[in-house]
Structure 1
Amino acid sequence: MNRKIQLKIFFAFFIILVSCNEKETQASLEIDAYEQHVELRWSPSEEIDSYSIWVSLDGANFTQRGETKDTLFLDFVSDLGSELQLQYEVKASNEGDFTTIASGSAQTRKMTDEELLDMVEYYTFRYFWHGAESNSGMAPERIHLDGEYPQNDAHIVTTGGTGFGLFGIIAGIERGWVSRKEGLTRMEKIVGFLESADRYHGIWGHWIDGQTGKTKAFSKKDDGADLVESAFLMQGLLAVREYYKNGNSEEKALSDRIHTLWQEMEWDWFTQGGKNVLYWHWSPNFEWDMNFALEGYNECLITYVLAASSPTHTIDPEVYHQGWARGGDIKTTANAYGYELQLSHNGSQEYGGPLFWAHYSYLGLNPMGLQDRYADYEKENRNHTLINRAWCLDNPGNFKGYGEDLWGLT
């Protein structure tokens, strides 16, 4: 075989290899399609400024859907229709040049209620699992997938948000998204960090530096204990304690460590020496200057429930009745859209307030069948939600989109 023929064969083989590599790159696009959005994920490319995402309904004519520096993109496609057959291309930009690096197809579909709940549960788990701050394992105050954090804030974690995330991680373990051992390792990291982080009479701050454990000021005078955010954290930790208390020796040991943290929280100290109300903040530099009394009804109910049930630093019943319930003034006879409210929401007699007031405390507190002298909390939460929905259906402000398919404001 002469040299010229050998070169032709070599170059033909080289072209075939390049083509195969291009196909592998194209096939690297991972796609999950749901009812109203499509999630796309791809491998990063070196020396790339940004990525643009393009979609086609016919496989020939593409329109741009967005641009990102990340390698994950959510395309909300309700503007294109429903039950769609879509073709995607991801293009990489480098100094103005665009190269298609990945492509794939997606089929959106009608989802059952169960599928919708599965999706929300998985997304919640994934946010807290993959988005965790590296050293502490806790939830960052904000997640910037493109890596663009405000300077010095990349490792700031939130106590309340971490408490919410602990429920999501337990669900992830139960659903098999991570193994029980992986879940335990993450929980041990979080608890170990909290044991050594700044605390004030057993209470953490709102924000903590996830690398050092030092409190990060939430505002000028809010540079110490945050009783409410610590309550949101502890309700999640107590769920973890219960989850592991009958497990193997490592799991029981973690449960015991959480119980110690729970015992060390001095709820009664936050009555400012015996007043009949709990106070939200205390600062090592400004002490009680913020002077924010916790009065209901709002998202803070769990703070009083935990304070009252503390095994070591419980509060007197009058702290609940005179402080949280405002001596009975928490009660109301308000009615909106035909739904009765029993509680005055932050002093407001209308509509019941934003829905997070019906969410935060009830991650660890079951409202079903829960009653006291002021309210039936199952009924209160149901009516609060129905009022929110009815207001969006009524849409008195004529906001775009509000209606049967867009409600649940918080």
Structure 2
Amino acid sequence: MKKLFRKSIRGAALLLAAVVFPVLMSAFNPERNSNNSSKINTFNWEELSKKDQQFLDKVQRKAFDYFWEGFDPVTGLIADNAKGRRTSIAHSGFGLSAFCIGVDRGWVSRQEAYDRVLITLNSYYKNPDNENDFCVEGKYGLFYHFINVDTGKRQGRTEVSTIDSALLMAGILHVMAYFEGTEVEELAKKIYQNAQWDKYLNRRNAITGGWKPAEENWTNPEYKGYNEYSLVYLVALGSPTHPIPDISWDAYNSGNGAEWLKPYKDIGAFKTPKGVMQPHAYLYQFPTCWYDLRNKKDKYANHWEVAVNALKANRRYTQNWGSMVGYSEELWGWTACAGQRGYIGFSRPYNGTLAPSAVIASLPFLPEESLCSIIFMYEIYGDKIFGKYGFVDSFNPSQDWYDDGYIGIDKGNEVLMIENFRSEGVWKVFMRNPYVAEGMKKAMFSDI
């Protein structure tokens, strides 16, 4: 396939749309149903046709534009969904990394990105010599999940969030290394070193979900099941000022139970929604937007392999569900995303809603399957799901529903993971940060 890849996809997609769209495409490309994982894992950017490269470049650029055009020039914050003045602090983390990618892609100058990064960082740092200095609200150096773009104040009844603060800190660690030897590096260090992760531990030395002032207590004493909290632990372990103890990594892994450590015997048998293995793609993608876990393992597992198998299961599960309502097997992508009746998170069973970002961000894990699906979605649904900032957050063909909006964390997931697929750019810079290396060391990761 290789250079003929796009041509075969386009032709089959158009034929399918015109004649047999409801029929499953089990014969669409037999190679994609192969269990030859070594072949899949070596499929890379250089093997794509020029047309495919240009297509992914367009998808990535539009996702980047979400952050660049949504940037507030005063506070450096980025609106949550391109429709209002609420934002998640996680968007700042993705945005900081996106700005670095924009420089590497030649979309913006290094100075332009640097200036914006500096504005953003200043909003997360309280100058002790200026009591009126603007600073995003938080507690113990971590920040409220949702804040107002203009004021930096807590929005609604949201919590001080450990996971969203970690997503922010991942972006901060990235720019710290990217703009080494500058004011950005120094300011990034101050913000990172101010974070008191040890204040958010429970009695098991596991990290809690966060803190709410009204209750004066911790939220979600501990998340269980393999999840994005691996990012929180790795970021917190690397802190030079307020680290969590090394045994916290053990508390996290043992708290999940042993089941997630076992390789899938049948990747189609996803134990969801109450099983130990959670279905949503972002749980495996968010940590690896920054942390390069390829060819590494700790004493518990090869975490990259866990993610690959989980995403295979995600694909198989949604394909099996879709076969009951006439979906093509090229349609997959289950993650937390916008839904017809509001945001779809953990608690709801799968209802056929598809998130393009879940597939796009799977490119480093399942490049061939992901690219097939992305192109198929684009060719079949076109403007229904592709607009100013690229793919919309979600759609549900079984309900003839198509979202018209975008969400920052999903756009960020796309920008970073396309870059890691095409150049390993985020991984290369992020992993050279000594605080990142320290966190990996304390979690006892080693090369395979």
- How many Å separate the matches in 1 of 2:79 and 2:325? 32
The one of 214, 218, 224 equivalent to 1:285 is 214
The one of 275, 284, 306 equivalent to 1:380 is 306
- The alignment partner of 1:282 has SS state of strand
Establish whether residue 165 from structure 1 lines up as the match of residue 134 from structure 2: no
Between structures 1 and 2, the one with greater helix share = 2
Residue identity in the other structure for 1:141? D
The one of 156, 160, 163 equivalent to 2:86 is 156
- The alignment partner of 1:313 has SS state of coil
Residue identity in the other structure for 1:372? D
Q: Is the 8 A contact 1:334 1:340 kept in 2?
A: no
- How many Å separate the matches in 2 of 1:111 and 1:336? 38
Per the normalisation by structure 1, the TM-score is: 0.63
1:269 match: 199
- How many Å separate the matches in 1 of 2:269 and 2:16? 37
Measured after TM superposition, the shift of residue 383 of structure 1 is 1.5
- How many Å separate the matches in 2 of 1:262 and 1:289? 21
1:403 match: 329
Q: Is the 8 A contact 2:78 2:87 kept in 1?
A: yes
Q: Is the 8 A contact 1:328 1:374 kept in 2?
A: no
Measured after TM superposition, the shift of residue 328 of structure 1 is 5.0
Per the normalisation by structure 2, the TM-score is: 0.58
- The alignment partner of 1:325 has SS state of helix
- How many Å separate the matches in 2 of 1:254 and 1:177? 20
- CA gap 1:349/1:194 in 2 versus in 1, 3 angstroms: closer
Residue identity in the other structure for 1:132? F
Establish whether residue 203 from structure 1 lines up as the match of residue 129 from structure 2: no
- The alignment partner of 1:208 has SS state of strand
Establish whether residue 233 from structure 1 lines up as the match of residue 164 from structure 2: no
Residue identity in the other structure for 1:207? F
The higher-RCO structure (CA 8 Å, 6+ apart) is: 2
Residue identity in the other structure for 2:224? E
2:153 match: 214
1:348 match: 275
Structure 2: unaligned runs, 5 residues or longer? 1-5, 8-13, 19-48, 126-134, 336-448
- How many Å separate the matches in 1 of 2:323 and 2:265? 16
2:63 match: 124
Residue identity in the other structure for 1:389? R
Quote the sequence identity (%). 24
Residue identity in the other structure for 2:66? Y
1:84-114 Cα offsets, whole Å, 9 max, x none, are xxxxxxxxxxxxxxxxxxxxxxxxxx97332
Structure 1: unaligned runs, 5 residues or longer? 1-33, 36-76, 82-109, 145-153, 247-251
- CA gap 1:379/1:113 in 2 versus in 1, 3 angstroms: farther
1:248-298 Cα offsets, whole Å, 9 max, x none, are xxxx111110011000000001014x5421111112332215343133411
- How many Å separate the matches in 2 of 1:139 and 1:79? 39
Q: Is the 8 A contact 1:164 1:363 kept in 2?
A: no
Rg bigger for which structure? 1
Q: How many residues align?
A: 286
Q: Is the 8 A contact 1:136 1:190 kept in 2?
A: yes
- How many Å separate the matches in 2 of 1:131 and 1:233? 17
Root mean square deviation of aligned Cα? 3.1
Residue identity in the other structure for 2:174? A
Establish whether residue 329 from structure 1 lines up as the match of residue 258 from structure 2: yes
Between structures 1 and 2, the one with greater strand share = 1
